[in-house]
Amino acid sequence: MTTTSDYYTGEERSKRIFAIVGASSGNLVEWFDFYVYAFSAIYFASAFFPSDDPTVQLLNTAGVFAAGFLMRPIGGWLFGRVADRHGRKNSLMISVLMMCAGSLVIACLPTYASIGAWAPALLLMARLFQGLSVGGEYGTTATYMSEVAMRGQRGFFASFQYVTLIGGQLLAVLVIVVLQQFLSEDELRAWGWRIPFVIGAIAALVSLYLRRSLEETTSAEDRNDKEAGSIAGLFKHHTAAFITVLGYTAGGSLIFYTFTTYMQKYLVNTAHMPAKTASYIMTGALFLYMCMQPLFGMLSDRISRRNSMLLFGALGTIFTVPIMLTLKTVTNPFLAFVLITLALAIVSFYTSISGLVKAEMFPTQVRALGVGLAYAVANALFGGTAEYVALGLKTMGMENTFYWYVTVMMAIAFLFSLRLPRQAAYLHTDH
């Protein structure tokens, strides 16, 4: 998939659009499988972590959620190496197979009442397996989509990674909403929570079929390079780029998970809204958030990736505390919806171009490794722990401290965004 100029024939455009659709559809399934855990946790927490305190139960499930993120750096390294040395397509197919296996295991797990401490232990193992998978998914998908996106429209086309990533979240919420309409709360807690994991396992098999049709974007020469996919090759020449990506991804991951996966629990546990109301709010907000991505991607094509990232850091620093404090005491569901949507609009400056702005920092031979590993490390340390830190501070009576934590990380993201080049680099595969 190469071209010698900025002009693309109709056939070339069709190939690239099909590749974007193929990669992103698999991405949607991967993230549905991963996020359905977060959205169904309020129903299965008591099955694996018996306790009289709902916050403690949620804290335990959030701990398992965070543990899955700790596998991401290993997944980012492993799948980044596979993608750089053996091709993006192979890496994408292996990762979705692993996600399928993890979902199937969770769907069939016995509860604490049946097998005691083995239940949470096996749940943890399944999540670690999924964490390994999704750790490789992000970097390889971001790399692949950035390489097939058309010059001059890179922001727009690359934004579909987060369209489908958020779409996975949205579908996870929708499945819970539908189940809430047909099953009682007791039924959801008893066995209904297993249904989304079964759906995820089946959908992953469909994704595997779709990814079989993808075309490889790397050349044999690049894959056979002695430094391809190697840690030594990455840090020998690209340490500064790696640190820059790490810096702004830390804040980006933290605020993303704060206003998506954690927000449903925040509305229930802190604002004391009914679970159904919180699900409705998050469904609407995530839908609008998903629709925003191509718009903010197109905006980045006009104002530059660097300016989009600077706006993200600045606005996130200014508005995080006011939004979270207002949501803490909000009673009107519509106002909560508006505030969350406003927060997600700020986050969209980052998420719409997240994969692309990282991919443009590295050459082909270590691109998947550089993107995947930097993202996974920052995501594990700051994104995956967002719920755990928030709930932990709440149990200590210091909930407001979490808002300032997010604010500080956003200020750091702004400072690292200043290091971005004023003009985005063209990816090597387009030369």
In the chain, the number of structural domains is 1
Question: Which residue type sits at 263?
Answer: M
84 found inside a domain:
yes
Q: What is the pLDDT of residue 424?
A: 56
Taking only the tens place, the pLDDT of each residue in 297-331 is 999 999 999 999 999 999 999 999 999 999 999 98
pLDDT of residue 351: 95
Does some domain include residue 406?
A: yes
List pLDDT tens digits, range 178-209: 998 898 888 988 899 899 999 988 888 888 88
One-letter amino acid of 314: A
Q: For residue 352, is it within any domain?
A: yes
DSSP 31: H
The predicted pLDDT at position 309 comes to 96
pLDDT at residue 431, rounded to an integer: 39
How far apart, in Å, are the Cα atoms of 233 and each of 84, 226, 305? 11, 8, 26
Task: Decide which of 63 and 339 is more confident.
Answer: 339
For residue 37, the model assigns a pLDDT of 82
Q: Looking at the domain assignment, is residue 224 inside a domain?
A: no
Rounded to whole angstroms, how far apart are CA atoms 53 and 82? 44
Q: For residue 262, is it within any domain? A: yes
Residue 6 belongs to a domain = no
Within 10 angstroms of residue 308's Cβ, the number of other Cβ atoms is 24
The pLDDT value recorded for residue 4 is 40
Range of the domain at 278: 13-216+237-426
Dump the DSSP string for 354-400: HHHHHHTTS-GGGHHHHHHHHHHHHIIIIITTHHHHHHHHHHTT-HH
Most confident of 116-125, 148-157, 171-180, 337-346: 337-346
Task: Measure the CA dihedral 301/292/416/233, to 10°.
Answer: -70
CA distances from 318 to 98, 113, 256, 322, 342 (A): 40, 47, 16, 8, 13
Burial readout 335-345 (b: 16 or more C-beta within 10 A, e: otherwise) = ebbebbbebbe
Mean residue pLDDT of the chain comes to: 86
- Note whether residue 100 is domain-resident: yes
Q: How confident is the model at residue 72 (pLDDT cuts 50, 70, 90)?
A: confident
Between residues 320 and 69, the one the model is more confident about: 320
Q: Supply the pLDDT for residue 51.
A: 67
Q: Is the C-alpha dihedral spanning 308, 309, 311, 315 positive or negative?
A: positive
pLDDT mean over 263-283: 89
CATH of the domain at 324: 1.20.1250.20
> Which of 181, 142, 196 has its CA nearest to residue 32?
196
pLDDT in tens, 104-133: 999 999 988 888 888 888 888 888 888 888
Helices (H), ranges, 49-87: 54-70, 72-86
Residue 2 has pLDDT above 50, yes or no: no
- Please give the C-alpha separations between residue 378 and each of 25, 93, 135, 275, 346, in angstroms, as whole numbers: 25, 24, 11, 30, 20
pLDDT tens-digit map of 226-236: 777 788 888 87
Q: Indicate whether 43 belongs to any domain.
A: yes
Distance CA 40, CA 176 (A): 7
Q: State how far the Cα of 368 lies from the Cα of 304, in Å rounded to an integer.
A: 23
- Burial of 239: CB neighbours in 10 Å, binned 0-12, 13-18, 19+: exposed
* Relative orientation angle of helices 261-269 and 386-395, to the nearest 10 degrees: 20
Chain-centre distance for alpha carbon 236: 28
Taking the C-alpha atoms of residue 102 and residue 60, their distance in angstroms, rounded to an integer, is 19
Q: Which of 218, 224, 251, 253 minimizes the C-alpha distance to 362?
A: 218
DSSP H helical segments within 212-274, as ranges?
220-223, 231-237, 239-258, 261-269
Query: Helices 399-417 and 239-258: crossing angle, nearest 10°?
Result: 150
Tell me the pLDDT tens digit for each residue of 386-429: 888 998 899 898 999 999 999 999 999 999 999 888 765 555 55
